[in-house]
Structure 1
Amino acid sequence: MLFKYRSEYKKIAMDMLSLLPEINNIDFVGEEIDWYSNSDSRNIYLWKNQENNWAGLISVEEKPKNIIIRRIILTPESWSINNCCVMIDELSHIYLDKKVVGTMDTTSICEIWEKRNVDEQ
């Protein structure tokens, strides 16, 4: 289940962001969270897995017709394409009127999710 970022979740979000190999500086983690917090069009969502443990983070930027997935992060023990797709499914239910798209880093996962949705219909 996705939970919209709130200040009480800062440590959890920082822990998730620190899993990214390109983020090796704790100051950058704080700057990343601030970048999302300082805009109404950008959001961070934290994800709890089936065992009710914090297991992922998905960050987005809202545009008039699209929701851009900027980051998808899962803990090592939770990482799977299926869990990524579950997170995107939940996100798509939050932004019903928006098309889900990715960045250069997240497009491949978004395409897998989109193909799964087409195959299921």
Structure 2
Amino acid sequence: MLMKFKSAYKKIAMGLLSYMPEEKDVKKLQETIKQYEEHENCQLYLWKEGEDIVGVMGLHFYGDGTAELKHLCVNPSYREEGIGRTMVQTIKERLDLSLVGCDQTKEFLETCEKRETDEVNS
């Protein structure tokens, strides 16, 4: 289940974001969270499986119906289950937008789009 970030989940979000190599440093993590809390064009989403929050996704919105996928992390215990791909599909459907990747997320996003195309064509 996709849900918007709330400050009550700050530690969980920071823990999940820390799985991204460029977010290992605590000060960097705090800056990243602050960016999502303070900028209207940036939004952090959490993914819940049962009672556990297992994923985080950060978007930077542009005014043209496009958003850049800045962060996408899934708890290692839940990887290889398709959660990241489901998060991407869900956000695209819910917000009716086009996603583009940044340096850190571009490859994953391309893999998701290729899988979507393969599923439609089979």
TM-score band by shorter chain is 0.7 to 0.9
CA-CA distance at 1:112 after TM superposition: 1.3
Query: What is the count of residue pairs matched by the alignment?
Result: 119
Q: Which residue of 1 aligns with 2:116?
A: 117
- Structure 1 distance, partners of 2:98, 2:15, is 29
1:64-89 deviation digits (Å, cap 9, x = unpaired):
23111011101111122722111101
CA RMSD of aligned residues (A): 1.6
CA-CA distance at 1:42 after TM superposition: 0.4
Q: What pairs with 1:1-121 in structure 2 (closer than 5 Å)?
A: 1-49=1-49, 51-63=50-62, 64-80=64-80, 82-96=82-96, 98-121=97-120
TM-score by length of structure 1 reads 0.88
What percent identity do the matched residue pairs reach?
Answer: 28
Runs of 4+ in 1 over 3 A off after TM superposition: none
Answer yes or no: is the 8 Å Cα contact 1:67–1:95 preserved in 2.
no
Answer yes or no: is the 8 Å Cα contact 2:17–2:71 preserved in 1.
no
CA-CA distance at 1:44 after TM superposition: 0.5
What runs of 5+ residues in structure 1 fail to find an aligned partner? none
1:90-115 deviation digits (Å, cap 9, x = unpaired):
1112221x211111111111111111
